[in-house]
Amino acid sequence: MTLSLDQARTLIAATRNKGREMGLKPLSVVVLDAGGHVLAFEREDGAAPGRFAIAQGKAYGAVMLGMAGRAQMARAEAQAYFMAAVNGVYGGQVVPVPGGVLLRQDGAVIGAIGVTGDSSDNDADAALAGAQAAGLDAEA
């Protein structure tokens, strides 16, 4: 299964709605496909200009490693030099904290959401809620 643009837009809308409902700061939300390539992105008014790269970095690491943000953070806490090295081989594009959420269908990764703007944990919770609203299995 391939994520469609309509699904990506639905994921972004649902994640943003959840952010508003939780009273979060302005969010930036990216959806990547199963190859780690950008399908859709939105940056809410008031967010800092550099948010695209952070959102992408959270989602990119999730897809490329097959490991969601919380697992990446646990590994970085346990073995910082490993995640630094992994980031090196991926061209410095990995941001290993919560907010990178894997999307799965029948167990296979079909893409990821990357969210940034509030605390990493809140970012992840908004993405999770977004995925659930869109009817997709997700892992934060």
CB nearer to its own copies: pick between 22 and 80 = 80
Tokens 């081989």 found at: 89
Residue written as tokens 């690491």? Answer: 61
Q: How far is the CB of 126 from its own copies (least distance, A)?
A: 16
Site residues (CB under 8 A) for its own copies? Answer: 4-5, 8-9, 33-50, 52-54, 56-57, 63-67, 76, 79-97, 108-109
User: For residues 119 and 39, what is the distance between their CA atoms, to the nearest angstrom?
Assistant: 24
Shortest Å distance, C-beta 37 to its own copies: 4
Close Cβ partners of 114 (under 8 Å, ≥ 6 residues apart): 29, 30, 31, 32, 54, 55, 56, 57, 58, 59, 60, 62, 99, 100, 101, 127
How far is the C-alpha of 116 from the C-alpha of 28, rounded, in Å? 5
As measured in angstroms, the least distance from the Cβ of 123 to its own copies is 13
Smallest distance from the beta carbon of 135 to its own copies, in angstroms? Answer: 18
